[in-house]
Amino acid sequence: MSNEEKQNEKLEKKNRKIIVIGIIIIAALIICVILLLMRERKSDETPKRNVVVTKDNAEDVLDEMLEEEYVEPGYYNASMSTTWHFATGDSISEDAYVANEERNTNDVYFDVFLADNEEEAILKSPVLPRGSRLDNIALDKPLSAGTYNCIMVYHLVDEQQNTVSTLRVGFTIIVEG
């Protein structure tokens, strides 16, 4: 092999290394951009501005994004009080709430049933957009005094309000009098 052929081979290897490094940097930048686009803003903090990803900060941005909690589309983090108190069966509860956290991926509505009768809802909610909360809850069907085991069925909905998936949560309703 001549000197010229050896130099050409070295040059080709060097060019391949540069191309591979370039591809890795571009792939890292693409991953960072995708993760930035998927990240949800936290509702209890001042929203962060997006970060321009460069080859110098790509690893730091990626590490920061990987540390954040991610809610997969179609899944739901339930945020609600698990015991609802009512002075009477037709009054408004002061401690009942249901929130659709900002980090969730879908709007949601829910129906409440007595645990032993899931045919007739005692409460049907409106659609709760992400980041909203329902307070001052009153039952659609008044209950007499007592303690009731209940089931809340969350319906995660798409933009057309079609159910994507459901989530069932048990909780207690107490009617004082």
The dihedral of CA 107, 97, 145, 140: what is its sign?
negative
User: Quick check: pTM over 0.95?
Assistant: no
Q: What pLDDT, on the 0 to 100 scale, is given for residue 32?
A: 62
Paired with 3 in beta bridges are none
Q: Order of strands, edge to edge, in the sheet holding 83-86?
A: 83-86, 163-175, 146-157, 107-114, 117-124
Confidence grade of residue 43 (pLDDT, cut at 50, 70, 90)? very low
Q: Render the burial of 58-74: b for 16+ CB within 10 Å, e for the rest.
A: beebbebbeeeeeeeee
pLDDT tens, residue by residue, 3-36: 777 787 888 888 888 887 878 888 777 776 676 6
Residue 32 in 3-state DSSP?
helix
Q: Is 139 exposed, middle or buried (0-12, 13-18, 19+ CB in 10 A)?
A: buried
Q: Which residues contact 100 (CB under 8 A, 6 or more apart)?
A: 79, 107, 108, 128, 129, 130, 131, 132, 133
Euclidean distance between CA atoms 80 and 128, whole angstroms: 13
Q: Are 123 and 139 in contact (CB under 8 A)?
A: yes
Confidence grade of residue 55 (pLDDT, cut at 50, 70, 90)? confident
Q: Does domain 78-175 have CATH number 3.40.47.10?
A: no
Please report, rounded to a whole number, the percentage of residues in the chain having pLDDT higher than 90: 42
Q: What pLDDT, on the 0 to 100 scale, is given for residue 66?
A: 65
Domain ranges of the chain: 3-67, 78-175
Q: What pLDDT, on the 0 to 100 scale, is given for residue 84?
A: 96
Confidence grade of residue 110 (pLDDT, cut at 50, 70, 90)? very high
**What DSSP character marks residue 140?**
S
